[in-house]
Structure 1
Amino acid sequence: MTKTNAGNFFEDFKVGQVLDHATPRTVTEGDRALYQAFFGSRFSLQSSDEVARKAGYAQSPLDDMLVFHIVFGKTVPDISLNAVANLGYADCRFLKPVFPGDTLSATSEVIGLKQNSDGATGVVYVRSTGRNQRGETVLDYVRWVMVRKRDKAAPAPETDVSQLPAAVDAKALAAPSGTNFKEFDTIASGSPHLWDDYEAGEKIDHVDGVTIEEAEHMMATRLYQNTAKVHFNQFTEGQGRFGRRLIYGGHVISLARALSFNGLGNAALVAAINGGRHVAPCFAGNTVFAWSEVLAKEPIADRDDLGALRIRTIATRDLPCSDFPGALERGYAEGVILDLDYWVFMPRR
């Protein structure tokens, strides 16, 4: 009887199956420091206890995307250990702040299956939920991932793909309770531009580029306890489709979010992810750039201190974004690697 875990293959999944993921993770100030070292995020609310206290928090919350990656990492051994690629996200809401000392755990439910035409892989759709030590849901999201089959001859399951909302309704966004951003310090944040200053249709080139190094990508992915083989095992991936390890897609998301500070410096909190596509792979040595478009702006009910902006951020590899490359009539412009649609909370005047 084998005692090792080979991970689930496509034919092991069943719609309605619930997976309780191992290794609850207590997050610390060390996680914050490492996350800032990897991505250089400068959003003041996640950088300063004093800025956070002024807004009504007991201390500075952890970066929303760090929370996302840690919850995501819990799910990998059961869902995507044998993945070819993570494909996308939808219907993701950040529901409660997470602070150093909180413990995160995760469960997932399989909500859809679709075998690919090659018969060697299939797409698994899951809804994953992250909870803190009090059992409170801090994060809930859907993702879909292409997973290898153990046996190409295994019968294909009946295709069952749930309909997902095109976007999280602004009315469903969970503004942080007990907070007040009326006196938000724009000197400390480094940007004078608040919710009132942005308009739908506005495009922002975030200008800066960051080159990904092999070591930092692997350390960041280990930080989340993400064990997907495509990111770590050059022995197998060197013989695979790309001949080298893939950069974890979440690494690109965090780089794009960090780059967005230059132009969206007061986008204090990520409220939701409406949808996301990893359009093309990214590798060590690539330089990531990003630009964003404001898709919509919405007030928050009963809050005159915060508003919501719906942002679409496009990330590219080895391609500055001064001409805003993006979706074409068919496919995407060459060099586009990420298309992320999300809501942020931003202080109002």
Structure 2
Amino acid sequence: MEGYAFVTKEPLLGPVVLALRVDVPGRKEQLWLGEEQDVEAALRGKERPLFLAQTRPLGAFWCEFGQTAAEGWTEAIWALSDALTAKKRSQREEREQAAAQLLSQQAEGNGTNAAAWYAAIQIWEMYLRCRRGRDSQQAAQALRNYAQLLTLPFGQYTPEMVHWLRDKPVIPVWNDRRDGKLEVWYPQGQTPFECAVVKDSLRPALIYYRQRILDAGLLMRRCSQCGRIFFGPDARSTLCSDRCRKASRKAAKRQFDGRAKGKDYEQAYDREYMFWYNRITKLKKAGAPPEQIGRAQAALKEFRKEALIRKQQVKEKKLPATQFISWMIGQEAVIEGICGE
């Protein structure tokens, strides 16, 4: 996977597309973001440079889109529009740099949010194409119209997501003809599958995604172990993955063993703190790089800060002790990842 740079250059030769596979039986989704010919080749199992390629738990695309803020996009769009109509080169370059920084923040600030990356790249590529136009005012208007089509859905789906999570009737957000273009690909390969592909607005992909989940009868749930939103077969589903189920069983066993004396959550906190402390001590004895030790110590500091807040909530009966213990056990993966275990 290769990154995308928001710099002034020649636009890409091929259109940028986002391909989405919704694997309901496997409870997972797959995303490919890149130039059309590269994405098509990647779907057939070939190695191609892509901006983003991921396999994730089912529901991640929908939830991260609903949580993407609508703020910030307008400033970037107007900065690019002003760059197209600027009379002086210095003014154009200043607005370009400001827009590039804003789009980078929108994309990178959301981590691996495929929707944010897709919108940012498409807006920048549209700007690069508009720079070739002779009529700057017309080019700026075309850019604004196109960018609005891409960013308008951000924020519109959050209310629907909240209603869905609370098991209320889903209020649909539909599309019209101008943002209704969706292609469905069936890549040739050993395992045939269906893949939705968009080149412009993301709204058709969202509707496609939601409809596949509704047709399967899945419900949106929140994991009692890690707090992540996931889709389960019924209202009794409370754990999102095998990892969380394992952690839940482990927490239940520790709680049972600790009931003999004292407050189980206090003992669990002491055990988890020593778990982290011993891992960092082991790193130091092994002669690990200072940067790795520093990251481990910083992670421990954040763990203690959050753990003390949650422990106080348990004391005040605002948080169940079992949920606090499960959370601490789930955090063990953080220090283990830093230590390479």
The bucket for the TM-score relative to the shorter chain is: under 0.3
TM-score by length of 1: 0.24
Choose between structure 1 and 2: higher helix proportion: 2
Structure having greater relative contact order (Cα 8 Å, sep ≥ 6): 1
Higher alpha-carbon Rg: 2
TM-score by length of 2: 0.24
